[in-house]
Amino acid sequence: MIPILPSSAHSADRPVRLPVPHALRKALPSSDRAEAALAKALDGVGIPTLNVSRLAEALAGSTGHAILAAPSCWTDAQLRWAYVVILHHLGDLNGRYGKLFDVADRGLDHTTSNAPVSKTKAATGMHTDSSDAGYNPDLVALLCLQPGASGGRSLLADAQALFDRLRQAHPELVSVARNAWPRDVVTPGLTSCSKAIEDNAIPVFSEDAHGLIFRYMRYWTERAMAKLDRDVPEELTRLFDFIDADMDEHAVRFQLRRGDMLVANNRTMVHGREAFENAAGFAPRCLVRAWVDGFLDSRSQALSLRA
């Protein structure tokens, strides 16, 4: 069992940064071989042995996240290869959107379609990944290939600390947070109808054998209620308002740079981004998202929700 890091291991006003493993630098394929190496790595072939214990400790412990900074001079294919290799040591890459999913503005509007916010330039709001009640990735990761022209700061907040403050300030809302509320069905390949939305009900806070589970997507929950022709209950709005205000106050805000790899525990950390703009003369913003399964089975310690 990997030990939990003490809460003093990081500053609350900046993200945790760790060095890229030296063995990764030594194993880096040359630029002309990186694409082929990446294809093999995605299939789990040619993965060099790395020591990622510090990263795993941060993800399983109180910090819940870490950023590894690869050299910006590496090519896109080299960066993607390094990213896949590191994530391979943490678990299995989920492929429901492709093992690597480019987060970039595609000119879409999530308010008028089922397009995910990840395909727009809009602010995402603070959230955890996956709108499907039946699937919740252990880790969410983002590799920055291009930060864009302006905006797009990343945000992180600690769900365990949020829950503790909720219990102190509004204990009457804890039962609301534990109740399963419908969420709009936006996952490609899943049927979206009233019954599917009803069945896609997810509590905001829950727990299992691994501990805390925080699942939060206010926009898709409120849109689900609208599609079901229901008013959002007053107590649910109060809960959402408290969560949003708390995360806004306590969020860590930072700019990802080319080569930065952010990895976060999707059960205990909430993430988001501010709106961004692309502009002539700048490479369009592009982050590469990955979901990792199986991390908690071997590395998590229980974090009780009980008062």
Instruction: Look up residue 116 and give its two tokens.
Output: 């995910």
Looking at residue 4, its pLDDT comes to 31
Looking at residue 95, its pLDDT comes to 93
pLDDT tens for each residue of 277-291: 999 999 999 999 999
CA gap 206, 177 in Å, rounded: 8
pLDDT tens for each residue of 227-258: 999 999 999 999 999 999 999 999 999 999 99
Looking at residue 302, its pLDDT comes to 43
Domain boundaries 16-299, CATH class? alpha beta
The partner residues of 157 in beta bridges, in order of sequence, read 270
Looking at residue 2, its pLDDT comes to 29
CA distance to 158, 214, 242, per residue, from 305 (Å):
14, 11, 18
The low-confidence residues of the chain, meaning pLDDT below 50, are: 1-10, 300-307
pTM higher than 0.85 for the full model? Answer: yes
Looking at residue 286, its pLDDT comes to 96
Q: Are strands 260-265 and 65-69 parallel, antiparallel or unpaired?
A: antiparallel
Instruction: Look up residue 65 and give its two tokens.
Output: 């996240």
Residue pair 157/164 in contact by the 8 Å Cβ criterion: no
